[in-house]
Amino acid sequence: MNILVDPLPDAIEVNGHDYPINTDFRVSLRTILAFEDPTLAGIEKQMVLLQNLYIEQPENILEAFKQGIKFLNGGVESEEENRGPRVYSFEKDARYIMAAFQQTHGIDLEKVDMHWWKFLALFMDIGGETTFSNIVGLRQRMKSGKASKEDKVIANKMKSIIDLPEIDRRTPEEREMEKVFNDAIEKGKKK
């Protein structure tokens, strides 16, 4: 699919059947924010995606989830292993993203209806002179080890803005194993 010549999708195909979806960028952002929420279990995040995105729930939930992720990725298969360090957050950077859309594209996100894929295309083209782009650039330099002394001073002064925790992608079982391990270490220290 080419977004320049093909209409943007308003349905997702699951097992040969087209299911209408909510394409508004706010719906997709709410779904992504749920995926960033450390208090939600994996199954809860999956349910948020299915409930937010699909108007009518497909029977094959696993395939619906997989295709939903593909839709959120702009039609591209997920490349989890190739993902670099996290350099932005739709939660933490919301006000900077809103301002960047206004500054770069002249779009007030509060007043516009927009397809998620159009939002993504514009998001990827946010101008370099915006506060958001400067924050992302500084995070990239800090995480890659290419930050200058000046960058490090600025990052330290703006720590509450620059710091961005990685999303915990461990399974509940992995988290529980780590908790058991840490509890055993603490118990050993007390002896």
The residue type of 12 is I
- Name the residue among 120, 27, 5 with its Cα closest to residue 74: 120
Average pLDDT over residues 144-150: 95
Regarding whether 108 and 78 lie in a shared domain, the answer is no
Residue 116, judged by CB atoms within 10 A of its CB (0-12, 13-18, 19+), counts as buried
Q: What is the pLDDT of residue 168?
A: 67
What is the overall mean pLDDT for the chain? 91
Residues 44-83: tens digit of each pLDDT: 999 999 999 999 999 999 999 999 999 999 999 876 555 6
pTM of this structure: 0.83
pLDDT digits (tens, 9 = 90+) for 4-20: 999 999 999 999 999 99
- Please indicate, yes or no, whether residues 15 and 78 belong to a single structural domain of this protein: yes
Same domain assignment for residues 104 and 74: no
Position of tokens 């500054």? Answer: 103
> What separation in angstroms does the CA of 125 have from each of 24, 51, 114, 118, 119?
19, 30, 16, 11, 10
Residue 185: inside a domain = no
Beta strands in the chain (DSSP E): 11-14, 17-20
User: Which residue's entry shows tokens 């996290």?
Assistant: 86
170: in domain: no
Q: How far apart are CA 24 and CA 91, in angstroms?
A: 17
